[in-house]
Amino acid sequence: MHTSICLLSCALMLAQPGGDRADWQLTPQIAPGLELIYRGEFMDEVLGQNFERQTRYRLDANLLVLEAGVKDWRVAFLTSLRLHDGSDPLAKKLPIIPVAAPKEKVNDGPTSLRLELAQVELQGRIRNRDKRLVQIPLKGPPTLECGFLVTVPLTKVGRNYTWEVPEEGRPLMRWQVVGMESSGGISCIKVVGEQKTEDWDRARADQVAWRRRDIVWLHPQLNVAQKVERIIERRDPAREHPTERVSVRYELESHLRYPNILFQERMQEMLKASETYDTTQMLIKEPAQNRTQIDIQLQRLTGHLDRAQNSAYRHVFVHLKSILENAKKGEIPVPHVAEEPAHLPMRGLGIGHRAPDFVLSALTQEHATQFKAKHGKPTLVFFYNPATELGKELLAYAKRLSERNGPPVMILAMAVAPNGDAVRKQHQDLRLTFPIHDGNGMRLTFGVEQTPRIVVIDSDGLVSFTQTGWGIPTPFELDDVLQKCQKKE
């Protein structure tokens, strides 16, 4: 009996999903033929002093992986929104001010449908066909929902590991690994992200403040979301409480990888849908001038729908046909305005590359700093945001390193911030013995897309360590790397 209990205990221990594991690799694990299907809800609330308006949509989001490259995947995003008919028994009972309903019945088709071909990079970043980074909209329904992919570090991370992701025209998005938590009966890796304007915690009378919070439960095998909850709050000037709130919640309904023949059929149908979608968007910009082309396109759509009765994406073609028919009547949908900022991919120094000589503009001293790659001692280069807790932690580590007795290490602190006065005050308050430099001019050289970004250069001028992010084990890893560089001398 005792032996049976021991064997059963061992089997249960082996079956555990690794909840106590010290680290995880969070990069997406997707492959051609994989299709993800998410179902959920979007809700938009206007929070007035004497009223509340609420608009709800059913949200469907699909991802089909088309091809795999060396460092990315070619994918198709398909997002549809349907104005909620109020039949959900779990809906929150609130006084709702009616909103304008579409002329057709809600069940006749989606209120909005968007199909985009894009690239997903190893870190989970998403770029559209113009190589522009895709961002989550801060206001209104997410016509292209991609929050189930999180931009993550390439290195392994552990519990409480924190990293920052910059977004064009927005504050940094700060993520943290919370640990393991069950969702939908699956033990997932839970990560939490927060992004907010500097004035969110202190109300101002001259501008709108906002805060975004994401909770994502990552599927342990795929490293895409099993579940997503996102809340974005906005506060009007001179107000103490939020005046608008948008929330998104959805879960992974299915993830199937289709075998070769089925996948080829599905991919060709998706590419056909994408081509038809692009053509439709072009024609409805000027429907009067394109009346003949619209008629031709409608004939093609009718023929395709007759032939493809069992198409997986039939609803896309039905929706596009409806848009073209309405365009002939003069009913034009509001055109989609791209929200993705222009952003070029950076190429920085990698391990084994030789660092160049350069001159840095210092923010905390009058004269510039000249760096020579081969100067006989290792160099710690780090880019940081002075306004974040991670930036302060990195500065504290650099301070301890500079005050430590032992072989010398050159420290190049690179602030990525527009406010030089704040940098100088922080430098003075912390009583740092090393200068702080303006890091904006060297971001391309060192490949800085996220902060903190850490690079170690050995005494021969070769890069021996690079990392984006800062976690509990990072100081120990840096100590080990610098010690090895010093032994090399």
Claim to verify: residue 387 and residue 248 sit in the same structural domain? no
Per-residue pLDDT of the chain (489 residues; tens, 9 = 90+): 444 444 434 433 333 344 445 589 999 999 999 999 999 999 988 886 666 678 899 999 999 999 999 889 999 999 999 987 554 433 333 333 333 333 334 345 677 899 999 999 999 999 999 899 999 988 888 889 999 999 999 999 999 999 999 888 899 999 999 999 999 899 999 999 999 998 898 877 677 899 999 999 999 999 999 999 999 999 887 788 898 999 999 999 999 999 999 999 999 999 999 999 999 988 888 887 888 999 999 999 999 999 888 888 999 999 999 889 887 765 555 445 444 333 334 456 788 888 888 888 888 888 888 888 767 789 999 999 888 778 888 999 999 888 887 678 899 999 987 677 888 999 999 999 999 998 877 887 888 877 788 999 988 888 999 888 777 778 878 888 888 887 665
Q: Which of 206, 231, 257 is the last residue of a domain?
A: 257
Distance (Å) of CA 39 to CA 15, 81, 142, 150, 220: 29, 10, 13, 18, 19
Strands 379-384 and 410-415: parallel
For residue 367, the domain's CATH number is 3.40.30.10
Query: Dihedral, CA atoms, 162, 163, 165, 166, nearest 10 degrees?
Result: 100
What does the pLDDT read at residue 335? 47
**234 assigned to some structural domain:** yes
Claim to verify: residue 217 and residue 142 sit in the same structural domain? yes
Asked whether the beta carbons of 304 and 98 are under 8 A apart, the reply is no
Q: Domain of 161?
A: 23-257
pTM above 0.75, yes or no: no
Which residues are CB-contacts of 225 (< 8 A; sequence separation ≥ 6)? 38, 147, 148, 149, 150, 216, 217, 218, 219, 252
What does the pLDDT read at residue 219? 97
**344 assigned to some structural domain:** no
Q: Which of 307, 328, 349 is the last residue of a domain?
A: 328
Asked whether the beta carbons of 443 and 383 are under 8 A apart, the reply is yes
Claim to verify: residue 422 and residue 477 sit in the same structural domain? yes
Claim to verify: residue 305 and residue 435 sit in the same structural domain? no
Q: Which of 313, 328, 343 is the last residue of a domain?
A: 328
What does the pLDDT read at residue 332? 54
Claim to verify: residue 249 and residue 276 sit in the same structural domain? no
Total tally of structural domains belonging to the chain? 3
Asked whether the beta carbons of 411 and 434 are under 8 A apart, the reply is yes
Claim to verify: residue 308 and residue 401 sit in the same structural domain? no
**343 assigned to some structural domain:** no
Strands 410-415 and 436-438: parallel
Please tell me the distance from the alpha carbon of residue 99 to that of residue 95, in angstroms, as a whole number: 12
Asked whether the beta carbons of 456 and 482 are under 8 A apart, the reply is yes
Claim to verify: residue 291 and residue 376 sit in the same structural domain? no
Claim to verify: residue 239 and residue 312 sit in the same structural domain? no
**6 assigned to some structural domain:** no
Neighbours of 407 (CB within 10 A): 14
Asked whether the beta carbons of 229 and 157 are under 8 A apart, the reply is no
**18 assigned to some structural domain:** no
> Is the sign of the CA dihedral 45, 46, 52, 53 positive or negative?
negative
**202 assigned to some structural domain:** yes
**3 assigned to some structural domain:** no
For residue 191, the domain's CATH number is 2.30.230
Asked whether the beta carbons of 283 and 290 are under 8 A apart, the reply is yes
Claim to verify: residue 48 and residue 140 sit in the same structural domain? yes
Question: Token pair for residue 339?
Answer: 């929200």
Claim to verify: residue 294 and residue 212 sit in the same structural domain? no
Claim to verify: residue 374 and residue 299 sit in the same structural domain? no
**250 assigned to some structural domain:** yes
Claim to verify: residue 315 and residue 388 sit in the same structural domain? no
Extended beta strands in 197-243, E state: 209-218, 225-235
